[in-house]
Amino acid sequence: MGVDTESASASEVNLIERLVDRRTTQRPPARLIYDKAGDSDPLRERLAARGIDLICPHRRNRKRPATQDGRKVRRYRRRYEVERTIAWLQYFRRLVTRYEYHAHLFQGFAQLACLFTVLQTF
């Protein structure tokens, strides 16, 4: 979908919308499958305003009532495709350990690794 780089101290919930804005496709996705780190009601509302349905399991310590039923969470089982793709990107040494000082160079190497991964898959 897209690649974005940020410092390690930023919260993932705040970075999801920026990643959706940096997508390479013309249309926004209808659904976004994410892990438990994305379980945030304000994030769900902001993505719903954009027409994106956030599918992620609820955290164990959630105080508010559940917002989605088990049918949507069944789609979460397909998350292995995303995890597998990230594992393929870990084969590139320059992405695992960041040697570049400038973020735009690291961004370029990340995009190049994504291109090689796509070409290798198809």
Q: Output the pLDDT for position 69.
A: 63
pLDDT tens profile 6-64: 777 777 777 788 888 877 778 888 888 887 777 788 888 888 898 888 888 767 777 77
Overall number of domains in the chain: 1
pLDDT tens profile 59-82: 777 777 766 666 666 666 777 777
Asked if the model's pLDDT at residue 90 lies above 80, the reply is: yes
Structural domain of 90: 12-121
Position 83 confidence tier, pLDDT thresholds 50, 70, 90: confident
CATH of the domain at 88: 3.30.420
Residue 7, in any domain of the structure: no
Q: Output the pLDDT for position 67.
A: 67
Residue 5, in any domain of the structure: no
Residue 4, in any domain of the structure: no
| 3-state SS class at 66 | coil
With 0-12 / 13-18 / 19 or more C-beta atoms within 10 angstroms meaning exposed / middle / buried, residue 27 is exposed
CA distance 75 to 79: 8
Name the residue among 1, 5, 2 with its Cα closest to residue 104. 5
Residue 108, in any domain of the structure: yes
CA distance 106 to 112: 10
Residue 80, in any domain of the structure: yes
Residue 3, in any domain of the structure: no
Model confidence, pTM: 0.66
Placement of tokens 């959706």 in the chain: 20
Under 8 Å between Cβ of 24 and 118 = no
Residue 36 token pair: 């438990």
Residue 51, in any domain of the structure: yes
